[in-house]
Amino acid sequence: MKLASGIGFLLISLYADLAQNATTGNIRRPKQSEGHSVVGKSPALHRRPGRQIEPRGRASPAVPLGDVDDSTFDMVVPVVSYPGEESSYRVLPGKKGHCFFNGMMMYNTAVWSPEPCVTCLCSSGRVICDEATCPLRQCPHTFTPEGECCPVCSDTAQSEHPDPQQKTSSQPPVGMDRRLSREEQESEEEESGEKDGEKGAKKRDKKGRHRQSHSEKGIPEKDKRRSEETEDCWTEERKTTGRKGAKEVQRGLDQESEEEEEEEEDAEEGCFPAPAPGAQAPPLPSTCFVSDHQISCIDAKLTKIPNIADPELMSLELIGNSISCIPDKAFHGTPNLERLDLRKNTITSSGIGPNAFKALKKLTHLYLDGNQLVQLPPALPSPLQELKINENHLQSIDEDSLAELQHLVTLELEGNQLSEANVSPSAFAPLQRLSYLRLGRNHFRIIPQGLPASLEELHLENNQIEEIKETSFNHTRNINVIVLRHNKIEENRIDPLTWIHHENLESIDLSYNKLYHVPSYLPKSLVHLVLVGNQIERIPGYVFGHMRPGLEYLYLSFNRLNDGGIHPVSFYGAYHSLREIFLDYNELKSIPCGISRMTSLRLLRLNNNKIRRLRQERVCGATDRDSPLEHLHLENNYIKSRAISPYAFPCIRSHASVILGPQKVR
């Protein structure tokens, strides 16, 4: 018997050492890859001195984070989707085909480019990314600009030894469209037969193979000085200096088509002053990324909207520049734009022309985050599906501000100065297809009125909301997610009929409010409930009993729950459905009642409480069935882990499921 006991103790020690070493290498490695999963019951417990697992890599704080903004948590899928992975507080149901990418939510069929040459698609909850292949370059010198994935032809040799016959020709600058380089190579023989470079350029224009605005030559010094001295966008637009001379030169040339004349006038009346006769529009900075249908100039030190004439352009990114105005004809050369990104500039409301976006008949995505707007831009294109104006200074939304946006699906207006006093109750009524609305970090005291019936997700975090009235969600029967964290809501200020009859509302986040117990009259369809960082002292009995099919995710971290606040019937109605329960950072002295009755529970967090004694029946119950638990956290309590028998929880199938160390020492 002594020999058997010694061998058993040795095996347990080896298991603990191996598990600790595996944790040191990768603390979040799924248990399937550790090589220790055992069919049936494994008696060994897992002790990790000095280490612990927190949601999505978040380190355990030394003190409760009652005032900490939890926006750093990444959105992830439920733990049951990836065995061995632990979820964060912000697990969303994900039953609408949404995808999560780098903390951002993407709707089904959404397409985006996380980096140059990579395109991603959200397909029914799955993110599918495809990397573009680089075309073969047939030029003597190539280089790969910083931030790009494909090499481009270098014109260094041409700029050092210019050809006198090509002074007036318009060649694309470094970093311009790769498609143009291929087409110019195809027309090389034709160009070599031309004696006059300017006539050759015109002939290429007629074939659609040249873009007047993508010129290698800049504005003359005289016109550059005039551009720097001009501060008002509208005085620049009204200037006509040099137009007469340009037309006189044009009369001496071959007759051009009407479209070419219109493009020339647009270039003259854009953000740049009218060029002198024969002058070319300035090139894009060499740091810009240019492809067949996309131009991206990020942190390129631009002060104006570039004068681009490219009917095939579909995406234009001008992020992180110093652009302050958008004249009426800024986008006349790009009528087929579908995506326009002007984030992190200095655009003001007075700097946007009344018809600045009128030419964009196909624009579906417009991003104006991080500018200086005080009101919504005028005459927004009706095809818009996504509009983001976060982190501005918006002070009002009138009844007609969004009247034409009947195709809008996503509207984000976070970080502004909006409230129920300056937002018209009818402002959102025209948005018949609006599904996703973000109004966080504003000054609302009540839920905004007039929310459209099509709404599925509403985000109102970091406001000053104190109550939720019965009529707040009367017309939003399709709503699926409501986020109200960091407000001033008390449970007695939530009307009993607010949302109890909703059949599609699956996720509610009431973290960091003023709740003292779990609210009653929750939606019967609720699946995901987040109550982190309140002052909750008890879970009333039968509070989840009316829910169908049942609550699955319950997060109660950083509250004031004690043993007397959780009753045997507190989880009644959710025994068969609960999958994750977070009760860490509370005042519990033992494992709560009812845990052993939960047939679907995968993750239970009880770390950072005051637990001293482990009772086997609280986890395993009286039956001999296996527990579905994959993660049981008990670290940072007052448990004497050395005194715990390795057979304490015989229903736990994996030795790595129970985390005991480290423990507090009093």
| 105 belongs to a structural domain | yes
Q: What are the DSSP calls for 554-596, one per residue?
A: EE--SS---GGGB-TTTTTT-TTT--EEE--SS--SSPPTTGG
pLDDT in tens, 402-459: 999 999 999 999 999 999 999 999 999 899 999 999 999 999 999 999 999 999 999 9
CA distance 354 to 327: 8
Q: Is 107 domain-assigned?
A: yes
Distance CA 239, CA 312 (A): 29
If one compares 545 and 131, the residue with the highest pLDDT of the two is: 545
Do 173 and 204 contact (CB within 8 A), yes or no?
no
Which of 233-237, 245-249, 382-386 is predicted with the least confidence, judged by mean pLDDT?
245-249
Q: What digits encode the pLDDT tens for the residues 311-357?
A: 999 999 999 999 999 999 999 999 999 999 999 999 999 999 999 99
Instruction: Give the CATH number of the domain where residue 120 resides.
Output: 2.10.70.10
Name the 3-class secondary structure at 247.
Answer: helix
C-beta pairs of 257-263 under 8 Å, 24+ apart in sequence: 257/206, 260/205, 260/212, 263/212, 263/309, 263/333
Q: Say if CB 336 and CB 314 are below 8 A apart.
A: yes
Compare 527 and 79 and report the one with higher pLDDT: 527
Residue 382 inside a domain? The answer is: no
**Three-state DSSP class for residue 545:** coil
Residue with the bigger pLDDT between 440 and 126: it is: 440
Contact between 419 and 397 under an 8 Å Cβ cutoff? The reply is no
Confidence of residue 117 (pLDDT cuts 50, 70, 90): confident
The DSSP secondary-structure symbol of 551 reads: -
Give a yes or no: residue 104 inside a domain: yes
pLDDT at 488 over 60: yes
Average pLDDT along the chain:
74
Asked whether residue 103 is domain-assigned, the answer is yes
Query: Given this model, what pLDDT does residue 38 score?
Result: 31
Hey, is 433 helix, strand or coil? Answer: coil
Q: Cα separations (Å) of 576 from 547, 604, 624?
A: 12, 15, 18
Would you say 610 and 589 are in contact if contact means Cβ atoms under 8 Å apart?
yes
Residue 139 belongs to some domain of the structure: no
pLDDT at residue 159 greater than cutoff 60: no
> Where residue 155 falls among pLDDT bands split at 50, 70, 90?
low
The token pair at 383 is 């095809």
pLDDT above 50 for 30: no
Which of 89-103, 351-365, 541-555 has the weakest average pLDDT?
89-103
Tokens of 172: 């694309």
Q: Is residue 129 part of a domain?
A: yes
Is 90 exceeded by the pLDDT of residue 515?
Answer: yes
Q: Number of structural domains, the chain?
A: 1
pLDDT at 189: 47
> Which tens digit of pLDDT belongs to each residue from 171-229?
444 334 444 444 444 454 444 444 444 444 444 444 443 344 443 434 444 444 444 44
pLDDT surpassing 80 at residue 16: no
> Chain-centre distance of CA 483, in angstroms?
15
Domain span at 120: 97-134
Per-residue pLDDT at 113: 73
What does each C-alpha distance from 324 to 154, 321, 327, 356, 520 come to in angstroms? 32, 9, 10, 13, 50
Is 120 inside any structural domain? Answer: yes
pLDDT of residue 59: 36
